[in-house]
Amino acid sequence: MLSSLDQWIGRLLSEPRSTDGPRGEVRAVESLPATSAAAWKVSAPLGKRLANAARPYPFIVPKLVFFAGFMLIPLAWTVYMTFQGGAILQGTHFVGTKNYQVMLQDPLFWLSLRNSVLYAVLVIPLAMAGGVFLATLLNRRIKLRPVFLLILVVPAVVSTVAAAYIWSNMLATDGGFFNTLLQALGRHPVNWLGTPSLLIPIFVALELWRGTGFYAMLFLAAMHNIPQELYDAIAIDGAGSFQSFRLVTLPLMRPVILFATVMATIWNLQIFDSPYVMTRGGPGYASMTIVMYIYYNAFKYDAMGLASAMSLVLLLLILAAAALQLTIFKKEVQF
């Protein structure tokens, strides 16, 4: 009896056990009557109690310092700057909502926003569908699975800058891969990067080439974790492979697909690298994206307030898209 109390106190003096169970559940304390817990609290020396309370902080403080300095403070600063006019060097002054008004009347803002959204709306469903499709193929009983997987994932380690150069090469008007192919088929060569309507589809194709294999790898990992019993059960009920895919695989993969969709939305709405390398936003401003326009406003046009306002619009857009995806996925769960 005494020894168990001793052990219990020893445990309390070191840090409390984590509560992995439901929130608020305190396993260590529950194992003893409440009165003795209260009695200990009163009798423990104040210094010891403080040392105990301070123990987690050396572990989280380093992260929190960087997080506050380079995430929270910049975020607040950006919100503040949306109400400021003037340039960095000349000093700034309060201008009310003028930046927002200028932004809303700026046709280039709308064009670049449209380009980014159009790109994301095209890339995300295609990448997810492609990833699920390839994962399904890889999940079948096949030989050389690791080799196939490796080859499919390799483009994901190619940076977008490198990928943009690769594709610029293949899309070159004179002697590029695609035009050589077209000419072999007896067609006229196309000025790929000079045709505004082709640019977004080109960026989409580039990203699908780069990203689909990565999503396939992610989804394949999730498929491995689906219990075989579920497939056995539904096979007994006479379901074919398409049925078992629709009724078992897809519903059980919903969380990972949702996760991938949300992350892909965050990344892809920030498209910058491929248009920056391939077209610098041109011809004219045809392939300007919202991140590139923010970058130009902040560092080339010296319009900090405007850039800040636009970056907040991008943040709101990402939050709205994520909320929308969560709602849709939740709704689909309850059929």
Under the binding rule (CB under 8 A), the answer on residue 109 touching another protein is no
Q: How many residues bind another protein (CB under 8 A)?
A: 107
Binding mask 201-240 for another protein (x = CB under 8 A): --------x---x---xx--x--xx--x--xx--x-----
For another protein, which residue of 84, 112, 160, 249 counts as binding (CB under 8 A)? 160
Piece of the chain touching another protein by CB under 8 A; list 31-39, 246-254, 302-310, 325-333: 302-310
Under the binding rule (CB under 8 A), the answer on residue 49 touching another protein is no
CB closer to another protein, 23 vs 188: 23
Q: What's the half-sphere exposure (Cβ side, CA atoms, 13 Å) at 117?
A: 14
Piece of the chain touching another protein by CB under 8 A; list 32-40, 50-58, 96-104, 117-125: 50-58
Quick one: the chain helix, strand, coil %, rounded to 5?
75, 0, 25
DSSP state string for 144-209: THHHHHHHHHGGGGS-HHHHHHHHHHHT-TTT-HHHHHHHHTTPPP--GGG-HHHHHHHHHHHHHH
Under the binding rule (CB under 8 A), the answer on residue 320 touching another protein is no
Helix (H) or strand (E) segment spanning residue 93: strand 93-94
Under the binding rule (CB under 8 A), the answer on residue 272 touching another protein is yes
Under the binding rule (CB under 8 A), the answer on residue 141 touching another protein is yes
Binding mask 16-35 for another protein (x = CB under 8 A): xxxxx--x------------
DSSP state string for 1-46: -HHHHHHHHHHHHSPPPP--SSTT--HHHHTS-HHHHHHHHHHS-H
Q: What's the half-sphere exposure (Cβ side, CA atoms, 13 Å) at 204?
A: 20
CB closer to another protein, 171 vs 200: 171
Q: Which of residues 58-97 bind another protein (CB under 8 A)?
A: 58-60, 62-64, 66-67, 69-75, 77-78, 81, 88
Looking at residue 11, its amino acid is R
Please name the residues in contact with 52: beta carbons below 8 A apart, sequence gap of 6 or more: 13, 15
In the bound complex, what is the minimum distance in angstroms from residue 101's beta carbon to another protein?
Answer: 20
